[in-house]
Amino acid sequence: MPRRSLFLLFVVALVCLPLQSAHSANYPSYPVQFIISFPPGGPGDTTIRIIHPALQKNFGGAIQLVNKPGAGGAIAYTYVKKAKPDGYTILSTMSAPLTVGTALRTLPFALDDYEYIGAYAFGATGIVSKPDKRWKDLDGLLAYIKKNPGKLNYGTSGAPTAPYLTMAAVLAIRDLKATPVHYKGSGPARNAALGGHVDFSAGGFGAMQALLRAGKLVGLAITDNARDPKFPDIPTLKEKGLGRASIGLWAGLWAPKGTPKAVLDKLSAALKKTAGDPAVVKKLNKAGFRVEFVDGAGAKRLARQDHETSREIMKAVGIKKK
Protein backbone atom coordinates (compact mmCIF):
# COMPACT_ATOMS: atom_id res chain seq x y z
CA MET A 1 0.00 0.00 0.00
CA PRO A 2 2.23 2.80 -1.21
CA ARG A 3 -0.26 5.52 -0.41
CA ARG A 4 -0.49 4.51 3.20
CA SER A 5 3.25 4.26 3.66
CA LEU A 6 3.64 7.67 2.12
CA PHE A 7 1.15 9.00 4.62
CA LEU A 8 3.06 7.33 7.47
CA LEU A 9 6.27 8.87 6.22
CA PHE A 10 4.60 12.23 6.24
CA VAL A 11 3.43 11.75 9.83
CA VAL A 12 6.89 10.66 10.93
CA ALA A 13 8.39 13.68 9.21
CA LEU A 14 5.91 15.95 10.99
CA VAL A 15 6.74 14.45 14.36
CA CYS A 16 10.47 14.66 13.76
CA LEU A 17 10.43 18.26 12.61
CA PRO A 18 10.47 19.82 16.07
CA LEU A 19 12.94 17.20 17.34
CA GLN A 20 15.44 18.00 14.67
CA SER A 21 15.14 21.70 15.28
CA ALA A 22 16.05 21.34 18.93
CA HIS A 23 19.65 21.38 17.82
CA SER A 24 20.48 25.02 17.91
CA ALA A 25 23.30 24.55 15.42
CA ASN A 26 20.93 24.90 12.48
CA TYR A 27 18.58 27.32 14.23
CA PRO A 28 16.28 28.54 12.78
CA SER A 29 15.24 25.67 10.56
CA TYR A 30 11.60 26.79 10.37
CA PRO A 31 9.78 30.09 11.02
CA VAL A 32 10.10 31.58 14.47
CA GLN A 33 6.84 32.83 16.00
CA PHE A 34 6.86 36.25 17.62
CA ILE A 35 3.92 36.53 20.00
CA ILE A 36 2.52 40.05 20.31
CA SER A 37 0.39 40.86 23.35
CA PHE A 38 -1.47 43.68 21.59
CA PRO A 39 -4.12 43.62 18.89
CA PRO A 40 -3.02 44.71 15.41
CA GLY A 41 -2.45 48.45 15.51
CA GLY A 42 -1.62 48.59 19.22
CA PRO A 43 1.63 50.25 20.41
CA GLY A 44 3.62 47.03 20.90
CA ASP A 45 2.32 45.79 17.56
CA THR A 46 3.38 48.80 15.53
CA THR A 47 6.99 48.75 16.81
CA ILE A 48 7.63 45.13 15.87
CA ARG A 49 5.90 45.51 12.52
CA ILE A 50 8.14 48.46 11.69
CA ILE A 51 11.34 46.55 12.42
CA HIS A 52 10.07 43.18 11.12
CA PRO A 53 11.49 43.26 7.55
CA ALA A 54 14.94 44.43 8.67
CA LEU A 55 15.00 42.12 11.69
CA GLN A 56 14.11 39.15 9.53
CA LYS A 57 16.99 39.92 7.18
CA ASN A 58 19.51 40.41 9.97
CA PHE A 59 18.28 37.29 11.74
CA GLY A 60 18.56 35.16 8.61
CA GLY A 61 15.32 33.30 9.08
CA ALA A 62 11.58 33.73 8.74
CA ILE A 63 9.76 35.45 11.59
CA GLN A 64 5.99 35.07 11.92
CA LEU A 65 4.09 37.76 13.80
CA VAL A 66 1.18 36.37 15.82
CA ASN A 67 -1.14 38.65 17.80
CA LYS A 68 -2.47 37.12 21.00
CA PRO A 69 -4.09 40.12 22.65
CA GLY A 70 -6.19 40.06 25.78
CA ALA A 71 -6.24 40.44 29.53
CA GLY A 72 -3.79 43.34 29.44
CA GLY A 73 -1.15 41.15 27.82
CA ALA A 74 -1.55 38.27 30.27
CA ILE A 75 -2.64 35.81 27.57
CA ALA A 76 0.51 36.33 25.50
CA TYR A 77 2.84 36.39 28.52
CA THR A 78 1.42 33.14 29.88
CA TYR A 79 1.51 31.52 26.47
CA VAL A 80 5.21 32.27 26.02
CA LYS A 81 6.05 31.33 29.59
CA LYS A 82 4.61 27.85 28.98
CA ALA A 83 6.08 27.49 25.47
CA LYS A 84 8.97 25.14 24.73
CA PRO A 85 12.26 27.03 25.28
CA ASP A 86 13.60 26.08 21.86
CA GLY A 87 13.83 29.55 20.38
CA TYR A 88 10.77 29.16 18.16
CA THR A 89 8.38 31.03 20.43
CA ILE A 90 9.47 34.55 21.29
CA LEU A 91 7.54 37.26 23.11
CA SER A 92 7.61 40.58 21.31
CA THR A 93 5.81 43.31 23.17
CA MET A 94 5.92 46.34 25.46
CA SER A 95 7.38 46.05 28.94
CA ALA A 96 4.36 47.40 30.83
CA PRO A 97 2.33 44.18 31.33
CA LEU A 98 5.40 42.58 32.90
CA THR A 99 6.73 45.53 34.89
CA VAL A 100 3.58 47.47 35.84
CA GLY A 101 1.03 44.67 35.40
CA THR A 102 2.68 42.31 37.87
CA ALA A 103 2.86 45.13 40.42
CA LEU A 104 -0.85 45.95 40.12
CA ARG A 105 -2.26 42.42 39.92
CA THR A 106 -1.60 38.89 40.98
CA LEU A 107 -0.60 37.28 37.73
CA PRO A 108 0.76 33.83 36.90
CA PHE A 109 4.03 35.21 35.58
CA ALA A 110 6.89 37.28 36.99
CA LEU A 111 9.98 39.17 35.93
CA ASP A 112 12.21 36.12 36.35
CA ASP A 113 10.11 33.75 34.23
CA TYR A 114 11.76 34.94 31.01
CA GLU A 115 15.09 35.27 29.30
CA TYR A 116 15.64 38.87 28.21
CA ILE A 117 16.82 39.29 24.62
CA GLY A 118 16.90 43.07 24.49
CA ALA A 119 15.01 46.35 24.27
CA TYR A 120 14.93 48.55 21.17
CA ALA A 121 12.20 51.21 21.22
CA PHE A 122 11.45 53.59 24.07
CA GLY A 123 8.16 55.33 24.47
CA ALA A 124 7.15 57.79 27.16
CA THR A 125 4.15 59.02 29.03
CA GLY A 126 3.09 62.43 27.78
CA ILE A 127 1.09 64.93 29.81
CA VAL A 128 -0.91 67.18 27.49
CA SER A 129 -3.65 69.79 27.55
CA LYS A 130 -5.35 72.15 25.15
CA PRO A 131 -3.51 75.37 24.28
CA ASP A 132 -6.35 77.62 25.52
CA LYS A 133 -5.99 76.59 29.20
CA ARG A 134 -4.94 78.94 32.00
CA TRP A 135 -1.57 77.23 32.27
CA LYS A 136 1.23 77.16 29.75
CA ASP A 137 3.50 74.51 31.27
CA LEU A 138 3.69 71.82 33.94
CA ASP A 139 4.57 74.27 36.72
CA GLY A 140 1.61 76.41 35.77
CA LEU A 141 -0.68 73.40 35.80
CA LEU A 142 0.54 72.18 39.18
CA ALA A 143 0.21 75.70 40.65
CA TYR A 144 -3.35 75.90 39.29
CA ILE A 145 -4.25 72.54 40.84
CA LYS A 146 -2.81 73.75 44.14
CA LYS A 147 -5.15 76.75 44.09
CA ASN A 148 -8.11 74.62 43.02
CA PRO A 149 -7.69 71.34 44.88
CA GLY A 150 -9.89 68.51 43.64
CA LYS A 151 -11.50 70.65 40.93
CA LEU A 152 -9.64 69.40 37.88
CA ASN A 153 -10.18 66.17 35.94
CA TYR A 154 -7.52 64.40 33.99
CA GLY A 155 -7.86 61.66 31.41
CA THR A 156 -5.70 58.54 31.67
CA SER A 157 -5.06 55.64 29.34
CA GLY A 158 -6.64 53.31 31.92
CA ALA A 159 -6.46 52.42 35.61
CA PRO A 160 -3.88 49.64 35.23
CA THR A 161 -1.48 51.59 33.01
CA ALA A 162 1.83 53.36 33.54
CA PRO A 163 0.60 56.84 32.48
CA TYR A 164 -2.00 56.79 35.26
CA LEU A 165 0.57 55.69 37.84
CA THR A 166 2.93 58.42 36.66
CA MET A 167 0.32 61.17 36.84
CA ALA A 168 -0.94 59.96 40.22
CA ALA A 169 2.66 59.93 41.46
CA VAL A 170 3.33 63.48 40.25
CA LEU A 171 0.28 64.68 42.15
CA ALA A 172 1.18 62.63 45.23
CA ILE A 173 4.76 63.94 45.32
CA ARG A 174 3.53 67.54 45.24
CA ASP A 175 0.65 66.70 47.57
CA LEU A 176 -2.02 67.82 45.07
CA LYS A 177 -5.48 66.52 44.27
CA ALA A 178 -7.15 66.03 40.88
CA THR A 179 -9.60 63.39 39.71
CA PRO A 180 -8.54 60.70 37.23
CA VAL A 181 -11.01 59.73 34.50
CA HIS A 182 -9.97 56.41 33.01
CA TYR A 183 -10.34 55.86 29.31
CA LYS A 184 -9.59 52.77 27.26
CA GLY A 185 -6.16 53.54 25.91
CA SER A 186 -4.05 56.58 25.12
CA GLY A 187 -6.06 57.53 22.04
CA PRO A 188 -9.37 58.05 23.83
CA ALA A 189 -7.60 59.81 26.73
CA ARG A 190 -5.98 62.24 24.30
CA ASN A 191 -9.31 62.82 22.55
CA ALA A 192 -10.90 63.65 25.90
CA ALA A 193 -8.36 66.44 26.39
CA LEU A 194 -8.76 67.58 22.79
CA GLY A 195 -12.55 67.74 23.10
CA GLY A 196 -12.34 69.59 26.40
CA HIS A 197 -14.04 66.83 28.42
CA VAL A 198 -11.12 66.71 30.86
CA ASP A 199 -8.63 69.45 31.78
CA PHE A 200 -5.51 67.52 30.83
CA SER A 201 -4.53 63.96 29.95
CA ALA A 202 -1.73 61.48 30.59
CA GLY A 203 -1.13 58.75 28.02
CA GLY A 204 1.36 57.25 25.62
CA PHE A 205 3.42 60.04 24.08
CA GLY A 206 3.39 58.40 20.66
CA ALA A 207 -0.38 58.80 20.39
CA MET A 208 -0.13 62.53 21.17
CA GLN A 209 2.49 63.57 18.64
CA ALA A 210 0.40 64.23 15.55
CA LEU A 211 -1.81 66.63 17.48
CA LEU A 212 1.13 68.26 19.27
CA ARG A 213 2.81 69.01 15.97
CA ALA A 214 -0.40 70.51 14.64
CA GLY A 215 -0.63 72.75 17.71
CA LYS A 216 -4.00 71.34 18.76
CA LEU A 217 -2.52 70.11 22.02
CA VAL A 218 0.35 71.38 24.18
CA GLY A 219 2.86 68.97 25.71
CA LEU A 220 3.50 69.76 29.39
CA ALA A 221 5.97 66.99 30.23
CA ILE A 222 7.23 63.57 29.18
CA THR A 223 8.69 60.77 31.29
CA ASP A 224 11.67 59.75 29.18
CA ASN A 225 15.25 60.29 30.37
CA ALA A 226 15.94 63.00 27.83
CA ARG A 227 13.89 65.48 25.79
CA ASP A 228 12.54 64.30 22.47
CA PRO A 229 14.54 66.01 19.67
CA LYS A 230 11.30 66.45 17.72
CA PHE A 231 9.77 68.35 20.66
CA PRO A 232 12.68 70.17 22.29
CA ASP A 233 10.32 72.44 24.24
CA ILE A 234 8.68 69.68 26.25
CA PRO A 235 10.60 69.11 29.50
CA THR A 236 11.11 65.75 31.18
CA LEU A 237 9.73 65.00 34.63
CA LYS A 238 13.31 64.36 35.74
CA GLU A 239 14.22 68.00 35.00
CA LYS A 240 11.27 69.09 37.13
CA GLY A 241 12.50 67.01 40.04
CA LEU A 242 9.74 64.47 39.49
CA GLY A 243 11.93 61.67 38.14
CA ARG A 244 10.53 59.28 40.73
CA ALA A 245 7.21 59.32 38.86
CA SER A 246 8.76 58.06 35.62
CA ILE A 247 8.03 54.51 34.57
CA GLY A 248 9.78 53.26 31.44
CA LEU A 249 7.66 52.11 28.52
CA TRP A 250 9.75 50.15 26.10
CA ALA A 251 9.44 47.47 23.45
CA GLY A 252 11.62 44.39 23.69
CA LEU A 253 11.99 40.69 23.04
CA TRP A 254 11.72 37.89 25.58
CA ALA A 255 12.09 34.10 25.41
CA PRO A 256 10.82 31.33 27.70
CA LYS A 257 13.12 30.52 30.62
CA GLY A 258 15.73 27.95 29.63
CA THR A 259 16.10 28.98 26.00
CA PRO A 260 19.67 28.11 24.84
CA LYS A 261 22.14 30.97 25.09
CA ALA A 262 23.19 30.56 21.45
CA VAL A 263 19.60 31.28 20.39
CA LEU A 264 19.34 34.33 22.65
CA ASP A 265 22.65 35.69 21.35
CA LYS A 266 21.62 35.23 17.73
CA LEU A 267 18.35 37.09 18.26
CA SER A 268 20.02 39.77 20.34
CA ALA A 269 22.67 40.38 17.68
CA ALA A 270 20.00 40.64 14.98
CA LEU A 271 18.01 43.09 17.13
CA LYS A 272 21.13 45.20 17.78
CA LYS A 273 21.93 45.41 14.09
CA THR A 274 18.33 46.29 13.25
CA ALA A 275 18.19 49.05 15.87
CA GLY A 276 21.24 50.60 14.19
CA ASP A 277 19.56 50.73 10.78
CA PRO A 278 18.90 54.43 9.99
CA ALA A 279 15.75 53.65 7.97
CA VAL A 280 14.28 51.71 10.90
CA VAL A 281 15.26 54.44 13.36
CA LYS A 282 13.55 57.07 11.23
CA LYS A 283 10.30 55.12 11.03
CA LEU A 284 10.24 54.36 14.75
CA ASN A 285 10.89 58.05 15.48
CA LYS A 286 7.96 59.00 13.29
CA ALA A 287 5.77 56.54 15.16
CA GLY A 288 6.79 58.29 18.40
CA PHE A 289 9.55 56.09 19.78
CA ARG A 290 13.18 56.75 20.68
CA VAL A 291 15.49 54.01 19.40
CA GLU A 292 18.26 52.59 21.51
CA PHE A 293 19.49 49.02 21.74
CA VAL A 294 19.77 47.67 25.27
CA ASP A 295 21.06 44.12 25.68
CA GLY A 296 19.34 41.34 27.65
CA ALA A 297 21.03 42.04 30.98
CA GLY A 298 20.32 45.75 30.62
CA ALA A 299 16.68 45.14 29.73
CA LYS A 300 16.30 42.96 32.81
CA ARG A 301 17.70 45.76 34.98
CA LEU A 302 15.29 48.24 33.38
CA ALA A 303 12.36 45.90 33.99
CA ARG A 304 13.28 45.47 37.65
CA GLN A 305 13.64 49.20 38.09
CA ASP A 306 10.25 49.93 36.46
CA HIS A 307 8.63 47.24 38.59
CA GLU A 308 10.06 48.74 41.79
CA THR A 309 9.02 52.26 40.77
CA SER A 310 5.49 51.04 40.11
CA ARG A 311 5.29 49.43 43.54
CA GLU A 312 6.62 52.54 45.27
CA ILE A 313 4.08 54.71 43.46
CA MET A 314 1.27 52.35 44.40
CA LYS A 315 2.33 52.59 48.03
CA ALA A 316 2.60 56.39 47.91
CA VAL A 317 -0.73 56.89 46.14
CA GLY A 318 -2.53 54.18 48.06
CA ILE A 319 -3.36 51.80 45.21
CA LYS A 320 -3.78 48.22 46.37
CA LYS A 321 -2.66 45.16 44.43
CA LYS A 322 -5.64 43.32 43.01
Residues that bind other proteins (CB under 8 A): 39-42, 45-46, 49-50, 52-53, 65-72, 74-75, 78, 153, 158-160, 179-184, 187-188, 191-192, 194-198, 209-211, 213-214, 216, 282-283, 286-287, 322
Which of 66, 297 has the CB closer to other proteins?
A: 66
Indicate the helix (H) or strand (E) that contains 52. helix 43-59
87 in the Ramachandran plot: left (φ > 0), alpha (ψ -120 to 50) or beta? left
In one-letter notation, the amino acid at residue 298 is G
Closest residue by Cα to residue 202 from 238, 227, 166: 166
Least distance from other proteins to the Cβ atom of residue 160, Å: 5
Sequence-ordered list of residues with C-beta below 8 angstroms from that of 31, at least 6 positions apart, any chain: 61, 62, 63, 64, 88
Which of 79, 254 has the CB closer to other proteins?
A: 79
Least distance from other proteins to the Cβ atom of residue 181, Å: 5
Distance between CA atoms of 178 and 161, rounded to whole angstroms? 17
Which of 72, 235 has the CB closer to other proteins?
A: 72
Which of 147, 322 has the CB closer to other proteins?
A: 322
Least distance from other proteins to the Cβ atom of residue 50, Å: 5
Which of 208, 221 has the CB closer to other proteins?
A: 208
Distance between CA atoms of 141 and 145, rounded to whole angstroms? 6
Least distance from other proteins to the Cβ atom of residue 296, Å: 26
Q: Which residues of 61-88 are buried (b: 16+ CB within 10 A; e: fewer)?
A: bebeeebbbeebbbebbbbbbebebbbb
Q: Which residues of 155-173 are buried (b: 16+ CB within 10 A; e: fewer)?
A: bbbbebbbbbbbbbbbbbb
Tell me how far CA of residue 244 lies from CA of 142, 240, 261, 299, in angstroms: 16, 10, 34, 19
Which of 285, 305 has the CB closer to other proteins?
A: 285
Q: Which segments within 194-298 are labelled E, that is strand?
A: 200-204, 218-222, 249-256, 290-295
Least distance from other proteins to the Cβ atom of residue 34, Å: 11
Least distance from other proteins to the Cβ atom of residue 308, Å: 22
Least distance from other proteins to the Cβ atom of residue 76, Å: 9
Which of 72, 296 has the CB closer to other proteins?
A: 72
